[in-house]
Amino acid sequence: MKQTELKKIELAVQTILETVGEDIKRPGLKETPARVARMYAEIFASVKQTEFTDYKMFKTDSENDLVIVKEIPFYSMCEHHLLPFWGTVSVGYVPKAGQIIGLSKIARLVDYVAKRPSVQERLTSQIVTELDKILRPGGIAVEVKARHMCMEMRGIQKTGSETVTAAFSGGLKNAVAKSEFQQRLAL
């Protein structure tokens, strides 16, 4: 993020703090606008990226076997309130044409999708879409479990509630394949 963009965020945070009645000159808040600007640059790092490119493909002899990476931790920001939501993502896919992706790259893809304001439902489907663009596999399954501060600290205030979303594509859309994915996640 450019310095001019960081400065804009800094000024906006300063305005918010002043508007809610805070003294931005007090020691605890003096550097807060700059810290928030740097934090936003980090947690919204994917906003200006047009595509995910940090991956490597490998050849494999096995096809039609379900590959699953379970419980990848993530953090994102709710686009409605700009409050955090966080949890885990489990990704499964069936390789096609002897192509697999490096396992760590699936975790990087989750980070890429999560580092922008979003809603959990879109985050779930975007992981499927991005993985499909890269791999063109026989099918993809994604399950996201998350807690939302917009539900826990404001509004309805239901602390500890968890939202679960799932998206499927290709050969993993049928009931039998979905069931196999869910059973393997439970192991």
User: Of 139, 141, 142, whose CA–CA distance to 170 is shortest?
Assistant: 139
Catalytic annotation on 150? Answer: yes
148 is catalytic: yes
| pLDDT tens digit sequence for 42-99 | 999 999 999 999 898 999 887 778 999 999 999 999 999 999 999 999 999 999 988 9
The CA-CA-CA angle for residues 93, 97, 101, to 5°, reads 45
| Domains within the chain, CATH numbers bracketed | 3-43 (1.10.286.10), 57-186 (3.30.1130.10)
Would you state the structure tokens that stand for residue 77, as one six-digit string?
């920001």
43 phi/psi in degrees, rounded to 5: -80, -15
Catalogue the E-assigned strands of 95-130. Answer: 99-101, 117-118
pLDDT band at 120 (very low <50, low <70, confident <90, very high): very high
In the set 18, 79, 121, 162, the catalytic residue is: 79
Is there a catalytic annotation at residue 42?
no
Task: Verify whether residue 71 is a known catalytic residue.
Answer: no
Binding residues: 78, 81, 150
Catalytic member of 10, 126, 143, 148: 148
As given in the structure block, the two tokens for residue 12 are 């906006």
Residue-by-residue DSSP string for 127-156 = HHHHHHHHH--SEEEEEEEEEEHHHHTSTT
- Whether 78 is catalytic is yes
- Verify whether residue 157 is a known catalytic residue: no
Q: Which of 10, 14, 120, 130 is catalytic?
A: 120
